Structure 1
């Protein structure tokens, strides 16, 4: 251990001591929220999993520290044939962590696997723009029909069905990472476990102790290893924000990925240089399962519940972290879009609540026949407080009878995916900086649409705008799609995110970006 100065205050002590091993290896200790559900790039669906996967794998492109697209495994690319054919030129020195060469054929295999129904990827729809992908996902064509081919070992060609303005952004997502075919074929579902995993990113997995720590170590076969500084990264699954803060203050974490509401003002006062608050492509929302009662065929009820929530009170009194009340679905930080809003947003609080009661009664509910509904959420101080406040608003404004149910993250996600919910708390962090990353979630065919929402008109508008060039016509179509979604109300947006991190001052190179995408290789530890 190499000592470093401690930023101390009687009111808010923080120990600042980086871990540096005897051989000089620097260690980055990251809080990571919930335990990742999978480290298979094509199976993962959560932010905690993505944080680890960005260190283990490298895609054709990656997100720069500032949030832009930059070359990764592909050193360059050309776009031709009316913006339908992308030709990627791979770097000469690409290798897997076991030293084997990585070629364009590895990308062909992996992209096919990502849309194969056998894989069952929740993000398969992210590749819908690639020729034949939709038919493959639906089971109507074999994976070999996907519009990808290896021209030679260092040249990959991807053909799209229609021009797609955000396509490059999807290639930075884990669904587009290559996987090592011999490991997949030898180990099946266990190919991503320590001892079996072969990766191509800046790090390789060393160990995974469930509910304790995932450790990754520097991959010397990585094409840009010369510019990687940190030798080891440890990811700690800590869902309790107060516990994460305590470990951060004790010097056991260098990076805490969340901040307790109750301590936010103290943090801003005593260690402002260690606090990073970044507006993010993210929305905190409640999903309503429209496949089963009470929300099936009940748009008035869904609208009433949305209108009964005072979002300003939630961000001012509960989250208290500069979040933005969400009166639409698309965050304002998204490039190229000025979103639609609920029609009732300009009403006074009294008028809004009166309209909510009117819709509630129109849906068939009253004081004598109250709605009985369960709110399901995953562990976390903020989630619990918000669920309690929303349940109180539904009771006081509408007279609903609300029960709360807390579940561990993996169990919670499985229940959302299987439709075993009524109302549930979730968040969506954009996968690329384009409005479509939010619109696509609510498409009836998208694997992570846990509400079961299926609107032919919404799907038509969403799919139309996805292939239009940026400009007034696309903007108009997007607003039409959002208006349909807000009127149907299968989701209740609560607020838009401002991500808040605590990072020790000896961790250098951190630069906030709206995608919330960070790579440990871009950082260094300098005592």
Structure 2
């Protein structure tokens, strides 16, 4: 999933530390007073032990989460809040592997097509019992075409999931069924080795049917939001502040050390870093925000910065239905005419790798990539040929869109200059607030638009399947290719890992030959944190989990 807001992500938190309150219900004790030795004074009772101070973690989200509904989530900002407030059948642990969560155990059939999950006794944050029916309802709701979930395709691994989503099967034919309150049976289309990673993903989280049906806007306000995770939402001042508190009804509450997480929503990365340096927040930068690029050299020199490679790709999308990017040669010309390494050296500065393919290095199908970076001569030739094919002597106005962020702006400005220098093209830059930007991308209101993709699970198909269908929820390019689609479908039934890899590499070759997207670099996450913040889990896919975090 995971469109990233930056893929340098954004986080900030503004409010003061909570004060320890007076404890109640303590057993009264009496202390015998004895004369102090060699004095006429009375010895005072021993002081009571200091009361434990609440653990409060203060962060920044950079921007308003577009949603807190797991069935509608599609970006890293939303997912960070949802992972904190919900729990799936499985959860990715500190070792980056799925571990039992709401499901305490499971059985897998010999043909690897049927999972039978046994659920532990768990509750919603309001104390109501959570059952297998809540999972069945949530999955079928996400697949329901009326829900318009852009992540419905993540459930296509479930039997008849895609058919139901496309109106070719009934709801009852979808392969998920609550056999009783504590047993969930899942039938798959094909053996899916990474399925237990998927069940830790937001689209697979449960939702409360009664609440949703009584209030379709339940996920938009703290007072009506209801999850089953380590934390629950206490307040949400839109575009300003969001506060989570420990969920006392969480099944594994003893593992949760934080009492509160306070998020601010500050878009300016310099302000965020200043807040960190002033002690107003405990963490700045990824994975919920970004560090200001100008500050990175000094932070590196002071050994304050942490950098971690993640399975993600920063790319630009072309709208292939709008001229001139309805021409493949022009798309390739624009992709070849940028110097990726210079962007990394002069702007990003935290070890990113130039991307000449869609799939990141940790799961690469062709490690050397599919084209040459900064191939200006080929780019000029392709542009000339493409314009002749379109019958034009001059390109129409070109607009490059991105969501508000210092790093995105600097990258866009540098690429604007490179396109001007290398291709003689005039490009207008356009930035928008994240939620508006996402909607405009989905509606096709762009020519070239920035986006990032962080893996939802550790398999190349997750990066390639985005562009399988023209009307796919995350395919804003409007591109579709019959052979590409055929190869991805074929890969789902190929049991030989090496043969499957060759199929996917052939598909990625088509994607890069057609260039509906322009890969720019492979991500790293970089941040600064206070030394007393421990246990924050940042996965190899770039996701964050505060379940095990503490402030010592």
Alpha-carbon distance in structure 2 between the residues aligned to 1:271 and 1:21: 32
Displacement of 1:66 after TM fit?
A: 3.0
Aligned mate of 1:308, from 297, 313, 337: 337
Alpha-carbon distance in structure 2 between the residues aligned to 1:343 and 1:358: 18
Contact 2:72–2:150, Cα closer than 8 Å, also in 1: yes
Shift of the 238–462 alpha-carbon distance from structure 1 to 2, 3 Å rule, reads: farther
Contact 1:283–1:429, Cα closer than 8 Å, also in 2: yes
Partner of 1:286: 316
Aligned runs of 1:231-250 on 2, under 5 Å? 231-250=259-278
Displacement of 1:20 after TM fit?
A: 4.8
Alpha-carbon distance in structure 2 between the residues aligned to 1:340 and 1:300: 24
Q: Which runs of 5+ in 2 are unaligned?
A: 1-14, 22-52
Partner of 1:379: 404
Cα shift readout 1:179-221 (whole Å, capped 9, x = no counterpart): 1111101111234522212210011111111111111111111
Displacement of 1:474 after TM fit?
A: 0.8
When structure 1 is superposed on structure 2, of 287-296 and 231-240 the one drifting more is 231-240
Q: Does 1:414 align with 2:439?
A: yes
Partner of 1:431: 456
When structure 1 is superposed on structure 2, of 396-405 and 489-498 the one drifting more is 396-405
Partner of 1:12: none
**Higher Rg:** 2
Displacement of 1:340 after TM fit?
A: 5.7
TM-score (norm 2): 0.87
Displacement of 1:341 after TM fit?
A: 5.1
Displacement of 1:271 after TM fit?
A: 4.6
Alpha-carbon distance in structure 2 between the residues aligned to 1:173 and 1:487: 31
Aligned runs of 1:423-462 on 2, under 5 Å? 423-444=448-469, 445-462=471-488
Shift of the 511–175 alpha-carbon distance from structure 1 to 2, 3 Å rule, reads: closer
Contact 1:371–1:401, Cα closer than 8 Å, also in 2: no
SS in 2 for 1:302: helix
Alpha-carbon distance in structure 1 between the residues aligned to 2:409 and 2:350: 16
Contact 2:19–2:54, Cα closer than 8 Å, also in 1: yes
Q: Does 1:21 align with 2:19?
A: yes
Q: Considering only aligned residues, what root-mean-square deviation do their CA atoms show, in Å? A: 1.8
Aligned mate of 2:379, from 356, 374, 378: 356
Shift of the 460–21 alpha-carbon distance from structure 1 to 2, 3 Å rule, reads: farther
Displacement of 1:464 after TM fit?
A: 2.0
Alpha-carbon distance in structure 2 between the residues aligned to 1:373 and 1:473: 41
SS in 2 for 1:172: coil
Shift of the 84–196 alpha-carbon distance from structure 1 to 2, 3 Å rule, reads: same
Displacement of 1:356 after TM fit?
A: 0.6
Q: Does 1:129 align with 2:157?
A: yes
Alpha-carbon distance in structure 2 between the residues aligned to 1:492 and 1:228: 41
Q: Does 1:38 align with 2:63?
A: no
SS in 2 for 1:498: strand
Partner of 2:132: 104
Q: Runs of 4 or more off by more than 6 Å in structure 1?
A: none
Cα shift readout 1:135-188 (whole Å, capped 9, x = no counterpart): 111123332321011122211110011112222221111111101111101111
Q: Which runs of 5+ in 1 are unaligned?
A: 1-16
Q: Does 1:90 align with 2:113?
A: no
Partner of 1:493: 519
Alpha-carbon distance in structure 1 between the residues aligned to 2:365 and 2:437: 33
Aligned runs of 1:234-273 on 2, under 5 Å? 234-256=262-284, 257=286, 258-272=290-304
Corresponding pairs, count? 500
SS in 1 for 2:95: coil
Shift of the 25–456 alpha-carbon distance from structure 1 to 2, 3 Å rule, reads: same
Contact 2:310–2:525, Cα closer than 8 Å, also in 1: yes
Cα shift readout 1:41-77 (whole Å, capped 9, x = no counterpart): 1112111111100110000111112321111111121
Shift of the 357–389 alpha-carbon distance from structure 1 to 2, 3 Å rule, reads: same
Aligned runs of 1:318-357 on 2, under 5 Å? 318-334=347-363, 337-339=364-366, 342-345=369-372, 352-357=375-380
Aligned runs of 1:388-403 on 2, under 5 Å? 388-403=413-428
Alpha-carbon distance in structure 2 between the residues aligned to 1:209 and 1:179: 23
Aligned runs of 1:65-80 on 2, under 5 Å? 65-80=94-109
Q: Does 1:205 align with 2:233?
A: yes
Shift of the 343–152 alpha-carbon distance from structure 1 to 2, 3 Å rule, reads: closer
Partner of 2:143: 115
Shift of the 107–263 alpha-carbon distance from structure 1 to 2, 3 Å rule, reads: same
Alpha-carbon distance in structure 2 between the residues aligned to 1:460 and 1:235: 44
Contact 1:67–1:515, Cα closer than 8 Å, also in 2: no
